[in-house]
Each structure stands twice: as structure tokens, then as C-alpha cells.
């Protein structure tokens, strides 16, 4: 679904300056967006607003003139361990389906389908703790599929992965994202750059300074990116 925010103002209670002053962002349905910016610029905070995590589970005061966000968005976070609530793969995925009131007899098939789609080959009863970082991120994407989210928000999902797993994660994402709106915060951009429709660059003051297609940015703003 489309997301639109107009004139977002946000100041952390103990901060001196506002994190965002009149930030505007519009993301069309089905668009794949890569968001870049220096550490501390506000990328994670903005993602948390785009999916309604703020204010649902983080009590941070803000105002906006327009706030069309997807409160049903699914998140994939930097730290794969922070996003699971159950001990095993099957319990984690069944828990999501229970919350959606899916009948028990349908669960197995849905879970198998989701695991197949994300290429996670593992025993269903496997403790999540025993999975590698890359497998956990695949599980997080499988969770998002089972949530039925129309929006996927990924916050540096490759930061705990070794170089060899990064391409596989992006391929997995590309296999399932077609009809979804996707926003990715990521600084290892090589393998994702050509797959997205738009790149948004945030500066250290929390302003969106560039918003264009990856190819135009490569031509016109390469020095800024570096
Ligand atoms: P990024 O993801 O771009 O690194 P963040 O959105 O995590 O940036 O943080 C932006 C700024 O807001 C940082 O200066 C950070 O210290 C501050 N910040 C983030 N979350 C909180 C919070 N819950 N309370 C106070 N300050 C915060
Ligand atoms: Mg962050």
C-alpha cells in the first residue's frame, strides 16, 4: 500500500534539536526503496514511523499533517535475535497464524510454503537459536509472508551476515517482494542497488536530500554517495 507522511516533526524528549523538522515522504504501492544516510541520521526512527511501531510500541512524541502509514507492515531488523518470540521455527510461524485465526489444519501447508519461498531448509522443530544469521533473516521474511503484510521494512538486515550470505538474502527478498511495498535501510548497497526503484539519501540532520532512481544517482551524485 502507498505510504505518505507530510510535515513530520519529531524530537526525542532528551534531545536538544528536533530529529525531523517537516520531513515529507511518499512511497507508492509496490515501490522498492533503498534508504541511505550516516549513522544517527534517523533512518531507523523513520522506518519505525512508516510501519506504526512509533507510537504503537515506542512512546516517542511526534506530529505530522498527513500520516498514512501501514500499521500492518512487517519488520526485518538488524539483529535477527531481537525479532522472534518463540523457541522453535514451527512455533514462531504457527504463532503468527494463530494471531490471524488461521485454522490449525491449514497451518502446516502454509508454513511449508513460506519456508520453501524463502529457501529455508530446516527441521520444523529446530530451535531458532541454532539457526545461522542468514537463516534467521530468512525466517524473519517467512514470518512477514505469513503475516500477510503488504509492506516490508528492513533495517540493515545484512549487518550480522557474512559476505557470502548477503546475495542470498537479497535474492530471497526479490523472490517474494513483487506485490509488496518495500523500504530497505542498508549500507552494503552493491548487490541491492540495481534491484530497487528509488534511492533516498538522508543527511546527518535528518533531511531527505536526494530522492531519485539508482541510475540517476550513480551518474549525478556519486561523490555524495562516497
Ligand atoms: P540511524 O538509524 O540513521 O542510525 P536512528 O533513527 O537510530 O538513526 O537515531 C537517530 C537519532 O535519534 C540518534 O541520534 C539517536 O541517538 C536518537 N535516538 C534514537 N532512538 C532514540 C530513543 N528511543 N530515545 C532517544 N534518542 C533516540
Ligand atoms: Mg539504524
- As given in the structure block, the three cell numbers for residue 60 are 516517542
Per-residue confidence (pLDDT) for residue 221, from 0 to 100 = 77
Per residue of the chain (226 residues), give pLDDT as tens: 899 999 999 999 999 999 999 999 999 999 999 999 999 999 999 999 999 999 999 999 999 999 999 999 999 999 888 889 999 999 999 999 999 999 999 999 999 999 999 999 999 999 999 999 999 999 999 999 999 999 999 999 998 888 888 999 999 999 999 999 999 999 999 899 999 999 999 999 999 999 999 999 888 877 777 7
Phi, psi of 152 (to 5 degrees): -120, 125
| pLDDT value at residue 219 | 83
For residue 201, what pLDDT is reported?
95
**In this structure, are residues 19 and 121 in contact, taking their beta carbons and an 8 Å threshold?**
no
Give the pLDDT of residue 80.
Answer: 83
In this prediction, residue 127 carries a pLDDT of: 97
Q: Which three cell numbers stand for residue 224?
A: 555524495
Pocket test for ligand 1, best of 42, 79, 184 (most atoms within 8 A of CB): 42
Give the model's pLDDT for residue 214.
Answer: 94
Cα three-residue angle 53-101-52, rounded to 5 degrees: 10
Confidence at residue 182, expressed as pLDDT on a 0 to 100 scale:
98
Centre of ligand 1 to C-alpha 158, Å, is 19
Q: Over the Cα atoms of the chain, what is R_g? A: 18
Helices (H) and strands (E) in the chain, counts: 8, 10
DSSP, collapsed to helix, strand or coil, labels residue 42 as coil
pTM: 0.94
* Rounded-to-integer distance, Cα 71 and Cα 56, Å: 9
Atom of ligand 1 nearest to the CA of 47: 6
Q: Is-contact 35 203, C-beta < 8 A?
A: no
For residue 44, the CA-to-ligand 2 centroid distance in Å is: 4
Question: 136: how many CB neighbours lie within 10 A of its CB?
Answer: 24
Q: Which residue in this structure is represented by grid cell 557474512?
A: 162
| Closest-approaching ligand to the CA atom of 41 | 1
* CB-based contact 13:198 (threshold 8 Å): no
Of ligand 1's atoms, which has the minimum distance to the CA of residue 39? 4
Which residue has a Cα nearest atom 26 of ligand 1?
12
Whose atoms come closest to the Cα of 77: which ligand? 2
Residue 189 · residue 181 · CB < 8 Å: no
Cell of 182: 518495500
Say if residues 135 and 120 touch (Cβ distance below 8 Å).
Answer: yes
> What is the Cα–Cα distance from 56 to 128, expressed in whole angstroms?
26
Ligand nearest to the CA of residue 206, numbered in listed order: 1
| Residues lining ligand 1, Cβ inside 6 A | 12, 19, 37, 39-45
Q: What share of the chain is helix, strand, coil (3-state, %, to 5)?
A: 40, 25, 40
How much distance in Å is there from the Cα of 156 to the middle of ligand 2? 7
Q: Tell me, rounded to whole angstroms, the distance of Cα 67 from its chain centroid.
A: 18
Amino acid at each position: 500500500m502507498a505510504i505518505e507522511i507530510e510535515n513530520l516533526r519529531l524530537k526525542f524528549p532528551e534531545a536538544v534539536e528536533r530529529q525531523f523538522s517537516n520531513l515529507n515522504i511518499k512511497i507508492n504501492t509496490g515501490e522498492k526503496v533503498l534508504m541511505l544516510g550516516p549513522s544517527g541520521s534517523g533512518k531507523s526512527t523513520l522506518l519505525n514511523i512508516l510501519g506504526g511501531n512509533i507510537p504503537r510500541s515506542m512512546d516517542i512524541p511526534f506530529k505530522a499533517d498527513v500520516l498514512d502509514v501501514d500499521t500492518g507492515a512487517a519488520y526485518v531488523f538488524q539483529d535477527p535475535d531481537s525479532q522472534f518470540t518463540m523457541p522453535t521455527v514451527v512455533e514462531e510461524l504457527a504463532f503468527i497464524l494463530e494471531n490471524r485465526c488461521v485454522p490449525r489444519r491449514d497451518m502446516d501447508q502454509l508454513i511449508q510454503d513460506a519456508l520453501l519461498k524463502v529457501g529455508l531448509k530446516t527441521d520444523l522443530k529446530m530451535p531458532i537459536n541454532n539457526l545461522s544469521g542468514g537463516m534467521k533473516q530468512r525466517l524473519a521474511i517467512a514470518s512477514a509472508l505469513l503475516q500477510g503484510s503488504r509492506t516490508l521494512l528492513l533495517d540493515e538486515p545484512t549487518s550480522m551476515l557474512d559476505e557470502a550470505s548477503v546475495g542470498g538474502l537479497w535474492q530471497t527478498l526479490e523472490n517474494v517482494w513483487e506485490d509488496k511495498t518495500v523500504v530497505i535501510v542498508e549500507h552494503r548497497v552493491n548487490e541491492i542497488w540495481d534491484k530497487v526503484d528509488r534511492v533516498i539519501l538522508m543527511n546527518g540532520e535528518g533531511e531527505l536530500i536526494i530522492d531519485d532512481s539508482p541510475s540517476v544517482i550513480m551518474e549525478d551524485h556519486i561523490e555524495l554517495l562516497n
